[in-house]
Amino acid sequence: MLKDQDSARLIEGYLSGKTVYELAAEFGVTRQTVTGHLKRRGVAMRLKGIAESDRAEVARLRGEGMSYARIGEKLGVDPSTVQRFHVRRLGAR
């Protein structure tokens, strides 16, 4: 659990534009912990999907055999976001 001072820094970091992944690494917790904490504090979450400009890149990288985890890391999104996009939009697995 985060201390009150860490909580304030986490919220400040998120509101200044840091991602939940960056904050998780900074505070030594999971991204789910960061997200849960922000939601409990009433912070509006930014939703990040696959940007239009990255969609062809996802197909190319998967075609080259790159994992969903590596693509997610490269694009700054969760691997499950990459997989859902790839399966739904491109009809692939």
Going from N- to C-terminal start, the domains of the chain cover 4-40, 52-90
63-83 pLDDT, tens digit per residue, is: 999 999 999 888 888 888 899
pLDDT at residue 53 in the model: 84
For residues 27 and 10, the answer to whether their CB atoms sit within 8 Å is yes
Task: Give SS3 for 50.
Answer: coil
pTM, two decimal places: 0.55
26-61 pLDDT, tens digit per residue, is: 999 998 899 999 999 999 887 677 888 888 999 899
pLDDT at residue 92 in the model: 63
pLDDT, average across residues 6-20: 90
Question: 57-84 burial by CB neighbour count: b if 16+ within 10 A, else e?
Answer: ebeebbeeebebeebbeebebbeebbbe
